[in-house]
């Protein structure tokens, strides 16, 4: 009896040691793999161009020779300052409009009874199963016809369509966790439904709203396909488009493309890390209830 | 005629949802219908301004063009391989990442945040970063590999269709660019699987593990008999979901290879027909075929979900 107990304990300890080794190995392999492109982007943008061309595989740069020349060039000589403003405008407009409409729609789907409500609350996410390219060709045709092709506002409209379903779903999940008695109290006191939304529901929904805002911002800021298809004049380009255009100019160095990539990545990563707990809470609110 | 509360609610709901519904209908539903119309007419990029758009000259010529195109079967196969292997890889990596992060230790929040970065970064940035890293002339991978003697000529990962190599005496042909693109797909989307698997891992009842320990199960056995079965549903769900999503993907392959070197998938082919060959009709037809394929997958997915749900009842 005692022999078998001892061998079981040994095996368990061996396996646990193995798992610890595997875990360490996992971290050592995984983390660099995940972060390599980001590291490389930043390093390549900061190194002097000669260094990049002469010693491409230099993993650890010469720290006293790094400089921001590439960023300077990209911002001021290749129009990226303008692109940043464009992306910011488009993203913020999308965030504001999307959040507002999602609050109204989400409230309706949660609290109001109407025909088709079950269909909406469960079916709304189906929109995401449509491939963007299936929408892109006819939208291109329609917008061309309407003269809306080169329009930033048409782009915002498309982004709204992309973000509203999930925004609505997230807010619906959150609203379902709010006790309806609070709103009933407001209604009994003579508030209209809209008043209830404004005075009672919204103040309580700050975390969910932050989550929706974050999600919407990320989608609008990162988007490529529709910006690529619809915008023609360089002054209107968003950052995604600007980076691609930079890359297609064959005579320009790859370093500029890396600097531009850092410019487009940095804001969204910062915003994400600042607000990510709200996103998790917004999504999880529905997940717990199923 | 008194308006009931129900009537008023319904009317208010209508008004609150109207803008959203209008936008979604205008940008999503209407274009799909419009796509059907376009696919049945001969339309080129030059016809967009004229009356050709509304002429009633419907026919299936576009579909014929698309299906009889010599690339067509290759494109379909590439799409399925890309979607299947790409999703599979992203889920495997997501599982590995979730297992690494699972458990209490310091810095877990930061680690989780770092692991998510491939997914939240802009697609243009990560595709160009990887393109640069894999570049034959200036790329890190080729330079390091050649410095270390792994290979002697730079390998153009994203622009060469095939690569022949000798593996233990057999000559093996690898679809190089396609493999590179699939690897990218795994890297970029593993955080999605990671998040869902991690959430599921953390929801597993501790008592199950306790019971297993009492029965004498070691850590690896606990993983095989307690953890994995609990994860089956999430993993299968994730696979189907990501498969459908990957079939829909356009940005990644377009930005990495423009669909060259054997990486042309259906979405990129639609773009090529419509804007490369200026044949909007053909592009729309292919888009409709893609859409039909997708609907098939969706129906299968929902049938599977219903069956899974019913097995619990």
Asked whether the beta carbons of residue B126 and residue A23 sit closer than 8 angstroms, the reply is no
Decide: helix, strand or coil at residue B80. helix
Distance of residue B165 Cα from the nearest chain A Cα, in angstroms: 25
Chain B contacts in chain A segment 17-56 (CB below 8 A): 18-19, 23, 26-27, 30-31, 33-38, 40-41, 44, 52-53, 56
CA A20 to mean position of chain CA atoms: 34
CA-CA distances (angstroms) from residue A218 to A90, A264, A270, B207, B302?
Answer: 11, 11, 11, 39, 29
Quick one: DSSP state of residue B133?
H
Any domain includes B93 = yes
Q: Name the residue range of residue B129's domain.
A: 17-310
What does the pLDDT average to over B186-194? Answer: 94
Burial class (CB in 10 A: 0-12, 13-18, 19+), A118: exposed
**pLDDT value of position A227:** 93
Any domain includes B260 = yes
- Dump pLDDT digits (tens) for A103-117: 998 888 888 877 777
Any domain includes B266 = yes
Distance of residue B67 Cα from the nearest chain A Cα, in angstroms: 17
- Dump pLDDT digits (tens) for A46-90: 888 877 787 777 777 777 778 888 888 888 888 899 999 999 999
- Dump pLDDT digits (tens) for B273-293: 988 888 888 899 999 999 888
Burial class (CB in 10 A: 0-12, 13-18, 19+), A206: exposed
**pLDDT value of position B131:** 92
**pLDDT value of position A282:** 53
**pLDDT value of position A179:** 87
Q: Could you give all domains of chain A from N- to C-terminal order, each with its CATH number?
A: 2-67 (no CATH), 70-289 (1.10.3720.10)
Distance of residue A73 Cα from the nearest chain B Cα, in angstroms: 18
d(CA A198, CA A133): 38
- Dump pLDDT digits (tens) for A215-273: 999 999 999 999 998 998 888 899 999 999 988 886 778 888 999 999 999 999 999 88
Asked whether the beta carbons of residue A130 and residue B248 sit closer than 8 angstroms, the reply is yes
Distance of residue B221 Cα from the nearest chain A Cα, in angstroms: 10
Any domain includes B200 = yes
Any domain includes B271 = yes
Asked whether the beta carbons of residue B10 and residue A257 sit closer than 8 angstroms, the reply is no
Q: Which two tokens stand for residue A12?
A: 């368990």
Asked whether the beta carbons of residue B31 and residue A165 sit closer than 8 angstroms, the reply is no
A1 pLDDT higher than 60 = no
B261 pLDDT higher than 80 = yes
Asked whether the beta carbons of residue B10 and residue A115 sit closer than 8 angstroms, the reply is yes
**pLDDT value of position B108:** 74
Any domain includes B9 = no
Task: Write the CB contacts of A243 (distance below 8 Å, at least 6 apart in sequence).
Answer: A257, A260, A261, A264, B124, B125, B128
Distance of residue A176 Cα from the nearest chain B Cα, in angstroms: 16
Looking at the DSSP bridge assignments, the partners of residue B173 are: B164
3-state secondary structure chain A: CHHHHHHHHHHHHHHHHHHHHHHHHHHHHHHHHHHHHHHHHHHHHHCCHHHHHHCCCCCCCCHHHCCCHHHHHHHHHCCHHHHHHHHHHHHHHHHHHHHHHHHHHHHHHHHCCCCCHHHHHHHHHHHHHCCHHHHHHHHHHHHHHCCCCCCHHHHHHHHHHHHHHHHHHHHHHHHHCCCHHHHHHHHHCCCCHHHHHHHHHHHHCHHHHHHHHHHHHHHHHHCCHHHHHHCCCHHHCCHHHHHHHHHHCCCCCHHHHHHHHHHHHHHHHHHHHHHHHHHHHHHHHHHHHC
Return the CATH number at B184: 1.10.3720.10
Best of A131, A144, A283 to mutate (most B CBs within 10 Å, chain B): A131
Asked whether the beta carbons of residue A272 and residue B120 sit closer than 8 angstroms, the reply is yes
Give chain A positions within 8 Å (CB) of B274.
Answer: 137, 140
What does the pLDDT average to over B234-255? Answer: 91
Q: Among B9, B114, B287, select the one facing A133 at the smallest CB separation.
A: B287
Give chain B positions within 8 Å (CB) of A262.
Answer: 125
Q: Among B26, B125, B270, select the one facing A137 at the smallest CB separation.
A: B270
Count of structural domains within chain B: 1
Give chain B positions within 8 Å (CB) of A247.
Answer: 128
Any domain includes B6 = no
d(CA A281, CA B193): 18
Asked whether the beta carbons of residue B20 and residue A243 sit closer than 8 angstroms, the reply is no
**pLDDT value of position A269:** 92
**pLDDT value of position A128:** 79
Asked whether the beta carbons of residue A15 and residue B219 sit closer than 8 angstroms, the reply is yes
Give chain A positions within 8 Å (CB) of B187.
Answer: 33-34
Does A176 touch chain B if contact means CB atoms closer than 8 Å? no
Asked whether the beta carbons of residue A145 and residue B219 sit closer than 8 angstroms, the reply is no
Asked whether the beta carbons of residue B121 and residue A38 sit closer than 8 angstroms, the reply is yes
**pLDDT value of position A281:** 59
Asked whether the beta carbons of residue B298 and residue A129 sit closer than 8 angstroms, the reply is yes
- Dump pLDDT digits (tens) for A177-219: 888 888 888 888 888 888 888 888 888 888 889 989 999 999 9
CA-CA distances (angstroms) from residue A1 to A5, A8, B108, B245?
Answer: 7, 11, 41, 56
Of B282, B262, B18, residue with least CA distance to B156 = B262
Reported ipTM: the value is 0.86
**pLDDT value of position B117:** 92
Any domain includes B5 = no
How many residue contacts between A and B have a Cβ separation below 8 Å?
A: 245
Of A225, A262, A286, residue with least CA distance to A84 = A262
Give chain B positions within 8 Å (CB) of A13.
Answer: none
The confidence band for B122, taking pLDDT boundaries of 50, 70 and 90, is very high
Give chain B positions within 8 Å (CB) of A7.
Answer: none
**pLDDT value of position B167:** 67
């Amino acid at each position: 009896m005692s022999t078998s107990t001892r061998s079981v304990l040994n095996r368990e300890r061996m396996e646990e040691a193995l798992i610890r080794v595997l875990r360490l190995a996992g971290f050592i392999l995984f983390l660099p793999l995940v972060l390599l492109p980001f590291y490389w982007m930043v390093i390549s943008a900061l190194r002097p161009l000669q260094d990049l061309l002469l010693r491409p595989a230099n993993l650890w740069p010469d720290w006293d020779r790094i400089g921001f020349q590439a960023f300077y060039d990209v911002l001021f000589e290749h129009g990226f300052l303008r692109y940043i403003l464009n992306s910011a405008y488009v993203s913020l407009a999308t965030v504001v409009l999307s959040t507002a409409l999602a609050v109204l729609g989400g409230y309706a789907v949660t609290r109001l009874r109407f025909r088709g409500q079950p269909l909406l609350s469960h079916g709304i996410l189906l929109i995401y199963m449509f491939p963007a390219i299936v929408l892109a060709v006819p939208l291109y045709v329609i917008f061309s016809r309407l003269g809306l092709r080169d329009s930033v506002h048409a782009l915002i409209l498309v982004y709204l369509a992309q973000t509203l379903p999930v925004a609505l779903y997230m807010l619906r999940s959150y609203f379902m966790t709010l006790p309806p008695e609070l709103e009933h109290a407001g209604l009994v006191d003579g508030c209209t439904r809209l008043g209830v939304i404004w005075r009672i529901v919204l103040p309580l929904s700050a975390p969910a709203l932050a989550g929706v805002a974050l999600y919407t911002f990320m989608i609008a800021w990162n988007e490529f396909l529709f910006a690529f298809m619809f915008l023609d004049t360089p002054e209107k380009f968003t950052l995604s488009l600007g980076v691609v255009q930079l890359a297609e100019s064959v005579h320009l160095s790859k370093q500029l493309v890396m600097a531009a990539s850092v410019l487009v990545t940095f804001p969204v990563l910062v915003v994400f890390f600042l607000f990510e707990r709200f996103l998790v809470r917004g999504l999880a609110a529905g997940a717990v209830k199923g | 005629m008194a308006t009931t509360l129900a009537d008023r609610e319904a009317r208010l709901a209508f008004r609150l949802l109207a803008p959203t519904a209008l936008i979604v209908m205008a940008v999503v539903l209407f274009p799909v219908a419009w796509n059907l119309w376009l696919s049945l007419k001969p339309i080129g990029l030059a016809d967009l301004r004229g009356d050709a758009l509304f002429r009633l000259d419907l026919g299936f010529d576009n579909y014929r063009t698309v299906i009889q195109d010599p690339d067509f079967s290759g494109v379909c196969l590439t799409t399925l391989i890309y979607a299947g292997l790409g999703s599979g890889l992203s889920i495997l990596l997501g599982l590995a990442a979730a297992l690494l992060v699972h458990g209490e230790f310091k810095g877990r929040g930061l680690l989780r945040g770092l692991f998510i970065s491939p997914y939240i970064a802009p697609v243009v940035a990560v595709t160009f970063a990887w393109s640069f890293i894999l570049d034959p002339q200036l790329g890190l991978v080729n330079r390091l590999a050649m410095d270390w003697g792994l290979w002697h000529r730079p390998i153009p990962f994203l622009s060469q269709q095939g690569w022949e190599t000798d593996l233990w005496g057999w000559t093996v042909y690898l679809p190089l660019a396609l493999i590179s693109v699939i690897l990218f797909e795994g890297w970029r989307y593993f955080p999605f699987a990671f998040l869902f698997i991690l959430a599921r891992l953390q929801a597993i009842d501790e008592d199950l593990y306790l019971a297993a320990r009492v029965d004498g199960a070691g850590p690896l056995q606990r993983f095989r008999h307690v953890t994995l079965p609990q994860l089956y549903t999430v993993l299968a769900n994730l696979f189907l979901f990501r498969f459908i999503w990957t079939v829909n993907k356009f940005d990644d392959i377009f930005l990495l290879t423009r669909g060259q070197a054997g990486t042309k998938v259906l979405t990129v082919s639609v773009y090529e027909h419509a804007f490369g060959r200026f044949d909007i009709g053909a592009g729309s037809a292919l888009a409709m075929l893609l859409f039909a394929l997708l609907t098939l997958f969706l129906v299968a997915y929902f049938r599977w979900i219903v069956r899974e749900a019913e097995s619990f009842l």
